[in-house]
Amino acid sequence: MRSLARPLFVEALGTFTLVFAGVAAMMANNYPLVGFNMLGIALAHGLALGLAITIAIPYSGGHVNPAVTLGFLSVGRIDLKKALWYIAAQLLGGVLGALAVKATYPGGVTSVTDLGVPTIHSAISFVDAIGIEAILTFFLMTAVYATIVSPKATKMGGFGVGLTVFVMILAGGPLTGAVMNPARAFGPSIVAMQWTGHLAYWIGPVLGAVVAAM
């Protein structure tokens, strides 16, 4: 367990960074004269994830996402015990990130957006949401393999994955929130106690990550 202390810490820290920066950007967008809207929110998530993965790569491999961890598990790149510890650390980081936003921003702002809890558009069914999240996460996991895992990958840290998240949020954000990460959904959901459609943000990303890994 002692050998896992540093990897678990950076996985929690990385997920905290993603959730705090992403959700805080959504809160800031509600202030007068801000208005960076979807473009700014997507950029905040993408840059935060790129930074988080780059920090974590030397110590944990830079998963920062339960779906990525489960994708690696499906092809034997991580054992079950270590995967479960990674997921626990990621979920903890997500919860702490959401709590930090709640402590930082006024209650009126956080309540307007349910603390950044992702939602499924009324025109999209639950099954459609799973499919959308699966497709988006397929591209995310593909970027992980192509820019981090592959021995032929160029040295760009996690920013290739961050750029993928930026593009996928622009593509799918209005439909499902383009979460692609169960911890990003779980942290705000548990703090805001809002669980509508929450399972889609587990089933879709895990399915997409596993298919991409295989």
- In angstroms, the first-to-last Cα distance of the chain is 29
Tens digits of residue pLDDT in 157-209:
899 999 999 999 999 999 999 999 999 999 999 999 999 999 999 999 999 99
- CA separation for the pair 78, 94 (Å, rounded): 21
Between residues 94 and 34, the one the model is more confident about: 94
List the structure tokens of 91. Answer: 């979920």
Q: What is the DSSP letter of 149?
A: I
- C-alpha neighbours within 13 Å on the C-beta side of residue 197: 21
pTM of the model: 0.95
List Cα–Cα distances, 135 to 116, 139, 178, in angstroms. Answer: 22, 7, 10
Between residues 163 and 107, the one the model is more confident about: 163
